[in-house]
Amino acid sequence: MDYDAIIIGAGISGLYQLYRLRELGLRVRVLEAGTGVGGTWYWNRYPGARFDSESYSYCYSFSAELLQEWDWTEHFSPQPQTLKYLNHVADKFDLRRDIEFSTRVTAAHYDDDARGWMVTADTGAQYRSRYLVTAIGPLSAPTMPRIDGIETFAGEAHHTARWPHHPVSFDGKRVAVIGTGATGVQAIQEIAKTAGHLTVFQRTPNWCKPLKNRPIDAAEMMRIKAGYADIFRRCEESFACFLHTPDPRNTFDVSAEEREAFLERLYEMPGFGMWQGNFRDMMTNPQANAVISDFIARKIRQRVSNPEVADKLIPKNHGFGTRRVPMETNYYEVYNQPNVLLVDLKETPIERITPNGIRTTAAEHPFDMIVFATGFDAVTGSFDRIDIRGVKAARLKDTWRPGIATFLGVLVRDFPNMFMLMGPHTALGNIPRSIEHNVDWVTGVIGHMQKFGLTRADAMPEAVAAWTEYVRETGQALLSNQVDSWMTGINSNVDGKQVRSMVRYSGSAPAYREWCRKVASGGYRELAFA
Ligand SMILES: Cc1cc2nc3c(=O)[nH]c(=O)nc-3n(C[C@H](O)[C@H](O)[C@H](O)COP(=O)(O)OP(=O)(O)OC[C@H]3O[C@@H](n4cnc5c(N)ncnc54)[C@H](O)[C@@H]3O)c2cc1C
């Protein structure tokens, strides 16, 4: 074997996994497609990119020294600062010496005789290792829309997740943004500040909530540093690892006045409180959800001066919180600007992109620049882009075709010694909190194997069946699993993603951790070792 472990990806998951496996004394290599560390925060350099998680709840918690030496400057950190932070982490722990950049893994094949993986990169290099850890990101494979003529556009064109490393100016330009998901919303409110004219092409409006970001001064940062233990404890106890967790009351337990006052408070509160800290039945009771959606709809109508435009911005096909909630700062007010036009693609679909711009069924719009905020082939997309084969050369893609099946979202039967970080069926939420837990658990399994001289770990079929059923069960009652979104495996721009599937675990993070804890403390009886 060339290495004990190959880790694919140098985002938050891959960096921490490298750190932990080094602690075990393993020879580790990280293969990363980008030219630098940071994953999401390396690729997504579009204007306005920032956290929706509170900065101090998102950062790594494993090093007290790191926590004490890093100052966050905003409650919701902008992308450049986050990238700086992750570079600082890489330098502080001397991680770069084990990372190969500009190296995209194209194939990973399991060899049962050697009990290891043969990993092939686009550079032509091959690597043999005992363990394979995929840290390839739930939102890292960008998708372009399927529009005729897309390649013929003669102006500037950028996908938000492949944003250039040089500054992009919108000054005086005619700019189009396609897409109004969490990224589109962040980009639109920023681009509208300087573009000569901005046209937003919207297929599905989302329920957006004010972010209420503000700077952190030195005194506040000192208080945050003193309170880190409490911050991480709160994240650990909450449903989805955020600082916000559902209110114990149901929507109709309180009077209409009390409800309205509570919703007003949540609306004014920074961050995801309106989504993650709302009445506990918001995500399961359609009537409760309708009341909250109606509250947000009223806010949109108040903030957008043209009632027809406001109506177009109000979602009709899903309730508040059932898709990823974009966080905004004056997003709705953008549509009151004279230089901004909203085009509703449900009314006037795009016919084609021309060298000059975009033609809908109603008009020809000339542009200097098109920004594609069209998101990702989520969760499984980064796996589908690698030819991953397990025992008897079975392809992972084929194994999952009838439905994703995993053990704890980490192991897949017949793909021995492969460990997934932030893969399908794992707890996501405030993701770094889940990453640290996942990495620690994987490190535990690998440490166990090293200790007892074991060379092969696979998930037992019964364990896979039990976990996969639990994922299905916990997701069943959720309204979010009854609408089309990346969380239910839908992407109209990707072949084979037209039917809803259970791609993520939607139960609570504490329950997830409890499963993992029991497996570890029971000596990993759910895994077959050899
Ligand atoms: C714009 C945006 C904002 C977000 N905001 C938040 C937020 O506020 N809160 C939150 O909790 N989460 C947020 N997320 C989710 C975010 O993805 C996670 O928080 C976290 O960064 C995931 O880290 P990761 O290391 O698992 O994956 P990533 O950061 O996606 O890193 C994966 C890495 O793997 C590499 N890779 C993939 N395939 C290959 C291959 N075949 N070969 C070599 N390298 C490969 C990629 O280049 C990438 O560097 C956001 C995501 C986006 C896109």
Ligand 1 site, residue 121, Cβ cutoff 6 A: no
User: Up-side HSE of residue 236: CA atoms within 13 Å toward CB?
Assistant: 11
Ligand 1 site, residue 241, Cβ cutoff 6 A: no
Q: What pLDDT was estimated at residue 480?
A: 84
Output the CA 396–ligand 1 centroid distance in Å. Answer: 21
Q: What pLDDT was estimated at residue 494?
A: 83
Buried b (16+ CB within 10 A) or exposed e, 80-107: ebbbebbbebbeebebbebbeeebebee
In this structure, the residue with its CA closest to atom 47 of ligand 1 is: 33
Ligand 1 site, residue 456, Cβ cutoff 6 A: no
pTM listed for this prediction:
0.97
- Residue 193 pairs in a beta bridge with none
Pocket test for ligand 1, best of 140, 143, 242, 379 (most atoms within 8 A of CB): 140
**328 touches 182 (CB < 8 A):** no
Phi, psi of 158 (to 5 degrees): -140, 135
In this structure, the residue with its CA closest to atom 38 of ligand 1 is: 136
Q: Cα–Cα distance between 169 and 277 in angstroms, integer?
A: 38
Q: Cα–Cα distance between 276 and 243 in angstroms, integer?
A: 9
Q: What pLDDT was estimated at residue 483?
A: 81
Pocket test for ligand 1, best of 35, 74, 139, 159 (most atoms within 8 A of CB): 139
DSSP state of 50: B
Phi, psi of 245 (to 5 degrees): -145, 155
Ligand 1 site, residue 319, Cβ cutoff 6 A: no
DSSP state of 320: T
Q: Cα–Cα distance between 471 and 376 in angstroms, integer?
A: 22
In this structure, the residue with its CA closest to atom 27 of ligand 1 is: 137
Size of the chain in residues: 530
Tokens of 383: 């796996």
Averaged pLDDT in 10-residue chunks for the chain of 530 residues: 96 98 98 98 98 98 98 98 98 98 98 98 98 97 96 98 97 98 98 98 97 98 98 97 96 97 98 95 95 98 98 96 95 98 98 98 98 95 97 96 95 98 94 98 98 98 97 87 81 83 89 98 98
Q: What pLDDT was estimated at residue 503?
A: 85
DSSP state of 30: E
Q: What pLDDT was estimated at residue 308?
A: 98
Ligand 1 site, residue 381, Cβ cutoff 6 A: no
Atom of ligand 1 nearest to the CA of 435: 26
